[in-house]
Amino acid sequence: MNIELFIQRAEALHQQLADLYQTASVLPWIPPDLLPQAFKELYSSSKLVQLAAEELYHQNEELLKTRSLLEAERQHYYDLFEFAPDGYLVTNAEGIIQKANLKAAKLLNAPKHLLVDKSIINFIRLEERESFRSELNQLSQTDQTRELVVCLQQLHGEYFDAALTVVALYNQNGEINALRWLLRQIDQRQQQDINLVNNENYLLQNRPVNIYAKGENIPLHPFVIWYVRQGLVKLSTFCETGEEVLIGLAKTQMVFGANMTSLSIYQATALSDVELASINFTEIAATPILSHILLPKIQQRLQQTESFLAIAGRRRVEDRLYHLLELLQQEIGESVADGTRFIVRFTHEDIASACCTTRVTITRLMGKLQQQGLIGFDEKKHILIKRLGVR
């Protein structure tokens, strides 16, 4: 029964009850004290049904409007997917194609309906399939976007070089729910450029390696970016009271430099023996490939800085300490038998500066965490995270 018909019947029932009440009120054999109460209850119930029907009608109208908006939104995103200038594929974790847009079908020279339920490996050149399977298996170990250069084979045997960009989507259990693929046909020059972008060694070609010992301050030049080939560098500033404030950590394959900050006081200190390569800003401006390589690394440093700022903005010292340990566990932790061990030693003074509090307070809170069995220390006084739990 549709909503309009239900409302019509409810209104008719309500009117029939009103007519019945008028008729029954003149019948002599019905007790006068019983009649008003019975019809009053029937009348009230009928009125409630009528009001409920009207409310249901309005809700249905709102639902139809929402559905219409969702359909329009779905169509919008479908058109973006379907008519995109690059090829798009959606597969499951094993690489079985679930969706393909028009450009992907054109690149692979196959109707869309023939692509569905086929493995993407079927379109990889036979000699490259083993390495491609290995790349596919490694996707479960990272949530980062991966760039691959492969030779694809069309449905009727034609080959072409392609750049594949793939990102994994995860469900609530941390399992891969789907893989999204971007397909682009490339020429030989583009393939060389992509290979350079994916090659960390390009940053080190013809560059001298500068070595700094643990505890040594690293000079900062206004037109130089340092690339960390090996080791860990502490980045800090000083507040008006002269106290040092930890604002970042540059680990292997990360970058840092004076031009990456607006702070008037900026200091870089080797937390371990480090190897650095210097890159001049003029070279970056003249070499698009170099800027392409460095951009994600600069973004990585900015994201880390934001994490330190978010920690400093928490009101409770206990929360600042907890989230700092969590961040350090992610940034410089290595798995050991008892948990996660920091690869370098952090003093209570270092931790206090990052938490914007005093060394005495950090000593007390760290002692409390150690008593609770959440953290510990190894023989070199490196922090060992046993379990931080959920906060």
pLDDT of residue 115: 92
157 burial (CB, 10 Å; 0-12 / 13-18 / 19+) is: exposed
- How many whole angstroms separate alpha carbon 246 and alpha carbon 356? 9
- Torsional class of 215: left (φ above 0), alpha (ψ -120 to 50), beta (otherwise): left
At 217, the pLDDT band (50, 70, 90 cuts) reads very high
9 and 72 together in one domain: yes
Cβ proximity of 281 and 293 under 8 Å: no
Length of the chain: 391
- How many whole angstroms separate alpha carbon 271 and alpha carbon 218? 11
Q: How many domains does the chain have?
A: 4
Number of CB atoms found within 10 A of residue 314's CB: 16
* Residue whose pair of structure tokens reads 């003074």 in the numeric block: 349
The answer to whether position 194 is within a domain reads yes
Positive or negative: CA dihedral 151, 155, 157, 160: negative
- The predicted model gives 191-219 an average pLDDT of 74
pLDDT of residue 245: 78
Share of the chain above pLDDT 70, in %: 72
- How many whole angstroms separate alpha carbon 134 and alpha carbon 279? 34
The answer to whether position 278 is within a domain reads yes
Q: Which amino acid does the sequence have at 55? A: E
Q: Which amino acid does the sequence have at 361? A: T
pLDDT of residue 227: 92
Q: What dihedral angle (degrees, nearest 10) is formed by the CA atoms of 108, 110, 111, 114?
A: -110
76 and 100 together in one domain: no
Among residues 216, 221, 259, 210, the alpha carbon closest in space to that of 234 is found at 216
95 and 178 together in one domain: yes
- The predicted model gives 200-229 an average pLDDT of 86
pLDDT of residue 91: 92
60 and 93 together in one domain: no
Going across the sheet that includes 97-100, the strands are 97-100, 87-91, 176-185, 159-170, 146-153
Report the mean per-residue pLDDT for the chain: 78
* Residue whose pair of structure tokens reads 């150690």 in the numeric block: 370
- The predicted model gives 163-169 an average pLDDT of 82
- Kindly tell me if the per-residue pLDDT of 149 is higher than 60: yes
Least confident among 65-69, 95-99, 280-284, 384-388: 65-69
The answer to whether position 308 is within a domain reads no
- The predicted model gives 178-182 an average pLDDT of 87
- Kindly tell me if the per-residue pLDDT of 193 is higher than 80: no
| First CA to last CA distance, the chain | 51
Which of residues 291 and 183 earns the better pLDDT score? Answer: 183
pLDDT of residue 27: 53
At 128, the pLDDT band (50, 70, 90 cuts) reads confident
pLDDT of residue 11: 64
Number of CB atoms found within 10 A of residue 31's CB: 7
Residues 336-366: tens digit of each pLDDT: 888 889 988 888 888 887 887 888 989 999 9
User: Can you give the residue range of the structural domain that contains 134?
Assistant: 87-198
- The predicted model gives 94-112 an average pLDDT of 91
- How many whole angstroms separate alpha carbon 391 and alpha carbon 354? 19
Residues 298-339: tens digit of each pLDDT: 777 877 887 887 887 787 888 889 989 988 988 888 888 888
170 and 205 together in one domain: no
267 and 230 together in one domain: yes
Which of residues 297 and 159 earns the better pLDDT score? Answer: 159
pLDDT of residue 1: 47
- Of 141, 163, 198, the last residue of a domain is 198
Q: What dihedral angle (degrees, nearest 10) is formed by the CA atoms of 116, 118, 119, 125?
A: -110
187 burial (CB, 10 Å; 0-12 / 13-18 / 19+) is: exposed
- Of 273, 288, 303, the last residue of a domain is 288
- Kindly tell me if the per-residue pLDDT of 138 is higher than 90: no
Residues 23-56: tens digit of each pLDDT: 655 555 555 555 555 556 665 666 666 676 676 6
pLDDT of residue 379: 85
60 and 92 together in one domain: no
- Kindly tell me if the per-residue pLDDT of 195 is higher than 60: no
Instruction: Using a cut of 0.75, tell me whether the model's pTM lies above it.
Output: no
Q: How would you classify the pairing of strands 87-91 and 255-256?
A: unpaired
Which of residues 387 and 323 earns the better pLDDT score? Answer: 323
Helix spans in the chain (H): 3-24, 34-82, 102-107, 112-115, 129-138, 188-197, 281-286, 288-312, 317-332, 348-355, 359-371
The answer to whether position 42 is within a domain reads yes
The answer to whether position 298 is within a domain reads no
pLDDT of residue 268: 92
94: tokens are 């094993």
